[in-house]
Amino acid sequence: MELFGTAGIRGHVAERVTPELALAVGRAVAAEIRERHDGNDGDEGAENGGPGPDPEVVLARDGRVTGPAIAAAMESGLASGGVSVLRAGRLPTPGLAYASQGRYGVMLTASHNPPSDNGIKLFRDGVEFDRELERAVENRVDGEEAPAEWDAWTTTERGDTLKSYLDAVETYARGFGEVDGRDDQDALDGLRIAVDCGNGMAGPATPTVLRELGASVVTLNGNVDGHFPGRGSKPTPESLRDLRAFVADANEGVTEPGRSGSDGDAEGFAFGIGHDGDADRLVLVDADGDVVHEDTVLAILAERYVCRSDADEPVVVTTPNASGRIDERVRAAGGRVERVRLGALHEGIASVEAADDTVAFAAEPWKHVHVPFGGWIDGVCSAAVLARLVAADGLDALREPVTERPYRKVSVDCPDDRKAAAMADLTERLPEAFPDATVNTDHGVRLEFADASWTLVRPSGTEPYVRVYAESDDVDELVEQVEAVVTSVVEAAAQRSH
């Protein structure tokens, strides 16, 4: 059974992510861990002088109503599978990832899905399971993995790991340098920030970290509530309208929004932050209440991370649909960009590092992996780092060097059974049609032009389309040209198949 999608296992709690499934997955994960740590892999055990450290799994959940019952089933599966479990209660997903370092981790979350859904994310040593591990789990679920011997069943412990995570984020963000010659301790002092936690797991995390860093934080929807009463749990310009209006209205007529003047307290807000249900995503809202484009946020962070890196040519890992503005800023800072398929940032990082290169930063839109901090997507860390950067330079100054070109995305009809043929043709036809472009065919066909325009053509993974992404000062013309090529190739493929 194919359980894992690009976001782990996710679905309705009565149909897909049931307690029964959680029990089965827990059992499977436990069996897989035990096999890997019981010295079954031959010589390795002997070299190390014995099996590895006690396998342990930390198990957490987001704030969903169904979380406790799913977690109990998962605990039962893990414990009857013979691995010891630490129940860590409610955590942001990045908090669980942090706690999984040196062991395994199970996060029960459906991120921004509706409240009737839940999901399972699996971590090893801070990083999501790769496909090989996922398949091993799927196979064991299919095989209805039996319990371990009765005397290997474990008793679960309970503990709270949130504070150590928040402390670590705070310490990490403090490392983001001196700010205006102000005392480091009070670096954010006077900076007012509005955070919309969407009733998700950011509530007990982001406002606390920012306050510890010295900010003055006003929180929207900071109470954890699995019904997501305040807004949709996916942060979009529409779902964030309360936050955006709140920031914009508060800043009306304020000269330096969110900063304290000579005469006392700050007025307005320097910026706003919106999170999804499990706080791996972050959306940035500027002082006018507008959402800052996701690729611009990536470009800002990527440039900073490349500058801070000691490596000769630091690498930024991102996804094919991410804008060329990232490449511009990374190159300007002396680094290089590598693209990997959506949902596979951790595999991209591993691949780059396997080649002895240094990854400075990795991200897809809204999701940032702060590599020097850890190999997981971390929206709380993003909030802290961005706050430090804004406090030092101001958001306008951070955005200034990033060129935001017009962007479009269109879908061309293409039945699933013709996608392969069409893409094969396009790999030839598109470079022919745009002879000046640099071509990259790792994930579809991506063309980059001298003026930083770019286009990406790739088949949809789930729908009968070929997608065309383009970003250019004259985006309509570029899309028109590319679409024409795609359409003709798809039609040609159709005729051949008759």
Residue 370 CA to residue 345 CA, distance in Å, equals 11
For residues 104-139, b (16+ Cβ closer than 10 Å) or e, as one string? bbbbbbbbbbebebbbbbbbbebbbbeeebbebbbe
Neighbour-count burial of 42, counting CB atoms closer than 10 A to its CB (0-12 exposed, 13-18 middle, 19+ buried): exposed
Residue 111 annotated in active site: yes
Residue 268 CA to residue 229 CA, distance in Å, equals 25
Strand-by-strand arrangement of the 359-364 sheet: 336-339, 315-318, 359-364, 367-369
* 167/413 with CB nearer a second copy: 167
* 90/325 with CB nearer a second copy: 90
Shortest gap between Cβ of 179 and a second copy (angstroms)?
19
Residue 358 CA to residue 350 CA, distance in Å, equals 10
Rg (CA), the chain: 24
# binding residues, a second copy (CB under 8 A): 63
Q: Which of residues 41-70 bind a second copy (CB under 8 A)?
A: 54, 65-66, 68-70
Q: Which amino acid, 359? A: V
Residue 495 CA to residue 498 CA, distance in Å, equals 5
* 23/363 with CB nearer a second copy: 23
HSE toward the beta carbon, residue 419, CA cutoff 13 A: 18
Report the residue from 137, 173, 220, 490 that binds a second copy according to the rule CB under 8 A: 220
Report the residue from 109, 113, 208, 453 that binds a second copy according to the rule CB under 8 A: 208
Report the residue from 3, 13, 97, 386 that binds a second copy according to the rule CB under 8 A: 13
- Active-site pick, 100, 111, 309, 382: 111
* 75/425 with CB nearer a second copy: 75
Phi then psi for residue 132, to 5 deg, are: -60, -45
Alpha helices in 216-310, H assignment, sequence order: 241-250, 294-308
* CA angle, residues 157, 161, 163, in degrees to nearest 5: 145
Q: Does 115 bind a second copy (CB under 8 A)?
A: yes
Three-state secondary-structure class, residue 446: strand
Q: Does 119 bind a second copy (CB under 8 A)?
A: no
Stretch that binds a second copy, among 119-127, 226-234, 303-311, 319-327 (CB under 8 A): 226-234
Q: Binding string to a second copy for residues 242 to 281, with x set by CB under 8 A, is what?
A: x--xx--xx-------------------------------
* 99/197 with CB nearer a second copy: 197
Dmax (CA) of the chain: 78
Shortest gap between Cβ of 428 and a second copy (angstroms)?
50
Residue 402 CA to residue 323 CA, distance in Å, equals 11
Tally of helices (H runs) and strands (E runs) in the chain: 15, 20
Q: What is the DSSP string of 64-103?
A: -TTHHHHHHHHHHHHHHTT-EEEEEEE--HHHHHHHTTTS
Stretch that binds a second copy, among 91-99, 148-156, 435-443, 455-463 (CB under 8 A): 148-156
Neighbours of 237 (CB within 10 A): 13
Report the residue from 131, 227, 409, 496 that binds a second copy according to the rule CB under 8 A: 227
Report the residue from 7, 72, 133, 342 that binds a second copy according to the rule CB under 8 A: 72
Q: Does 207 bind a second copy (CB under 8 A)?
A: yes
Stretch that binds a second copy, among 31-39, 125-133, 217-225, 409-417 (CB under 8 A): 217-225
Report the residue from 9, 22, 352, 466 that binds a second copy according to the rule CB under 8 A: 22
Stretch that binds a second copy, among 34-42, 128-136, 241-249, 405-413 (CB under 8 A): 241-249
Stretch that binds a second copy, among 121-129, 172-180, 208-216, 406-414 (CB under 8 A): 208-216
Q: Name the CA dihedral angle for 157, 163, 167, 170, rounded to a multiple of 10 degrees.
A: 130
Q: Which of residues 85-114 bind a second copy (CB under 8 A)?
A: none
* 146/439 with CB nearer a second copy: 146
- Tallying the residues shown for the chain, one arrives at 498
Shortest gap between Cβ of 19 and a second copy (angstroms)?
4
Q: Annotated catalytic sites, by residue?
A: 111
The binding site for a second copy (CB under 8 A) comprises 12-14, 18-20, 22-23, 54, 65-66, 68-70, 72-73, 75-77, 79-80, 115-116, 146-147, 150-151, 153-160, 163, 167, 197, 199, 203-204, 207-208, 211, 215-223, 225, 227, 229-231, 242, 245-246, 249-250
